[in-house]
């Protein structure tokens, strides 16, 4: 994913990774080892040393243990590094940072993420993914969020930003996947007429050339049931909860989310089967 220095959050994450890399470099220098010598001791290729020290690669816990052993770090220094690594891997960004700006700022940020990513994979279990929400459904979502968190009720501005983000659905250069659990389509978070329009919108995605759309039926056994929704933007996993979001950039963890998504697609209803699920829900309304 392409990032820019104007994205304050990404810049902060990159800064913290570089700072962690500086601490690793200091351990190596205090041990009077060159990068090549440390690589030999740890059984790595030399470029890995450079990537870890410059923050271009986030180390695993085993990497930190190997680094500390090779440099003779104390037990307390090793444990401190491991604790800090756990905190670094999952960066929590409270949505309350936008309390004065409201949800619009968050949606505008999503526009940037969506436009710069080559691959977008959205999986939702409790709500229709924002990327395919109709305006009235989105209004209900933002209204409920504002009421719960006490943030600025800039609903119309937030809806407009969310609709702007949806232009990526027609970008043939992107790979976009939308997978939603049937349970999310049954939650009555909005009046029936709005939900009917939302189901019609999802039905229009079936067979769409630029989007892969699927439903996880309630009676379908899944390989693993995700406890929350998430969206993958290339090498970023964005996981939303009630009050905030986690942004996960660790390669191994993001790979796990991609692997889970692949497994869920194996259980998904697509094409005419997905259309049938939507039609049944529509008839119930």
Residue 32 has which token pair?
Answer: 């009077």
pTM over 0.85: no
Q: What is the CATH number of domain 99-284?
A: 3.30.870
State residue 105's pLDDT score: 55
Residue 261 CA to chain centroid, in angstroms? 12
pLDDT in tens, 68-78: 999 999 999 99
Phi, psi of 88 (to 5 degrees): -70, -40
pLDDT at 245: 72
Tokens of 197: 């329009």
Given a contact cutoff of 8 angstroms between Cβ atoms, the answer to whether 104 and 162 are in contact is: no
Q: Across the strands, what pairs with 168?
A: none
Q: Which residues contact 165 (CB under 8 A, 6 or more apart)?
A: 107, 110, 111, 114, 130, 131
Q: Where in the chain are the domains?
A: 8-89, 99-284
Reported as a single tens digit per residue, the pLDDT across 103-145 is 555 665 677 788 889 999 999 999 999 999 999 999 999 888 8
Contact status, residue 226 vs residue 123, Cβ threshold 8 Å: yes
Q: Token match 């990404």: residue?
A: 10
pLDDT band at 99 (very low <50, low <70, confident <90, very high): very low
Tell me which CATH code domain 8-89 carries: 1.10.260.40
Residues 6+ away with beta carbon under 8 Å from 3: 10, 14, 116
pLDDT at 244: 66
Residue pLDDT, tens place only, 175-228: 999 999 999 999 989 999 999 999 999 999 998 999 999 999 999 999 888 889
Average pLDDT rounded to a whole number, residues 87-108: 54
Q: Which residue in 251, 132, 259 sits closest to 203, CA to CA?
A: 132
């Amino acid at each position: 994913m392409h990032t820019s220095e104007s994205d304050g959050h990404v810049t902060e994450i990159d800064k913290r990774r570089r700072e962690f890399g500086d601490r690793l470099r200091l351990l190596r220098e205090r041990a009077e080892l060159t990068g090549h010598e440390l690589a030999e001791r740890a059984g790595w290729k030399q470029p890995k040393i450079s990537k870890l020290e410059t923050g271009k690669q986030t180390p695993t816990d085993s990497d930190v243990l190997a680094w500390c052993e090779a440099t003779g770090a104390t037990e307390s220094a090793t444990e401190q590094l491991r604790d800090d690594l756990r905190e670094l891997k999952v960066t929590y960004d409270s949505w309350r940072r936008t309390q004065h700006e409201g949800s619009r700022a968050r949606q505008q940020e999503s526009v940037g993420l969506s436009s710069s990513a080559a691959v977008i994979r959205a999986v939702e279990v409790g709500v229709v993914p924002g990327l395919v929400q109709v305006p009235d459904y989105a209004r209900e979502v933002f209204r409920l969020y504002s009421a719960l968190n006490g943030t600025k009720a800039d609903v119309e501005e937030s809806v407009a930003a969310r609709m702007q983000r949806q232009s990526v659905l027609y970008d043939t250069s992107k790979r976009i996947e939308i997978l939603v659990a049937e349970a999310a389509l049954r939650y009555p978070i909005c009046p029936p007429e709005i939900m009917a329009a939302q189901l019609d919108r999802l039905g229009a995605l079936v067979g769409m050339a630029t989007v892969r759309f699927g439903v996880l039926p309630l009676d379908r056994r899944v390989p693993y049931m995700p406890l929350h929704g998430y969206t993958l933007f290339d090498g970023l996993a964005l996981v939303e909860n009630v009050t905030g979001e986690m942004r996960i950039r660790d390669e191994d963890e993001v790979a796990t989310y991609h692997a889970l998504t692949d497994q869920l697609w194996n259980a998904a209803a697509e094409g005419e089967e997905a259309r049938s699920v939507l039609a049944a829900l529509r008839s119930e309304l």
